[in-house]
Amino acid sequence: MIDPLLALARDAAFLGWSRMGLWASKLSRAHVEAKDDPNNLVTEADAEIEGLVRGYFARFRPQDTVVGEESAAPLNAHEVEDGAALLSGLVVPTLAEDPQFAARLREVEPLEWHVDPIDGTVNFVRGLPAHCISLGARRPDDRHPAEGQWEIGFVAAPVLDTVWYARAGAGAWVRTGLPQEAELTTGASATRISGTPAGLPGAVAATGFGYAPERRAEQVSRLSPVLQEFDDVRRMGSAAIDVCLAAEGKVNAYFERGLGIYDWAGGAIIAREAGLYVQLPTDRSEPVIIADTAERMEFLRRHA
């Protein structure tokens, strides 16, 4: 039987995956017809997706807390355009009819879900593929009160047709196709990931830049030493996707300052379960650092 937390994360990711497609078509029309401000549409899309996720958890996990970038009010699927299609794509409503699954769902202690409804909004509004919905759930942990114990992470990028996900103790995975098909087993389109493949030459780091001039100036000043250690730097425009690419071994490291917890909550446990070194910030002044080796982690701690 499917893990209850994975089932919840799959459904929540499906809500974002589906709605991004609908809102992308509205953005395309806005650019052509010039009737709507694309920035306003993105704000509406962000708020709607987060609201749907909040409404979903309010229904199936009312004991959980949802923390989102937009602080949107809970929203039921039947309140939005094409809501019936959304409801038909959810799996937990059907699974919950099984008494055994329903009992397992109730047994999971209260969690705190951190949601970025559209990570990579600039990419999204410009029609670039690197955007996603990112979710991560943690439970309180007296041993690590600042961070808690991360239980699951799920990142779903609809235009890339890719989902990355991890469950504490069950590894990190990548697969193509819809979020609802994600499983913690190797299948035709699901692969367990473990960082940089042995023998892959070169070293590439991913990073991002803030929009405030002072933050950007600081970030640019740190690039020079990084480029002396790494062959090149990539900037995808989505922190969650950057972290997942490190977990997948397509880049060797990722670093960035100025992030909110929702930016890295989905990807951090994916990187950790993939076996990478992970340093998480306690506030926005500290960097998120993901690295495939201890040496690169130590270097980035000094220079990122």
Annotated binding-site residues read 69, 116, 118-119, 263
CA distance linking residue 134 with residue 156, whole number of Å:
7
Helices (H), 186-238: 213-221, 223-229
Nearest residue to 173 (alpha-carbon basis) of 188, 183, 160: 183
Question: Could you give the 3-state DSSP secondary structure of residue 78?
Answer: helix
CA distance 49 to 116: 9
Instruction: Give CA angle at 240 (239, 243), nearest 5°.
Output: 85
Helix axes 38-60, 4-33, angle to 10 degrees: 160
Q: Residues within the annotated binding site for Mg(2+)?
A: 69, 116, 118-119, 263
Answer for the pair 263, 136: CB distance below 8 angstroms, yes or no. Answer: no
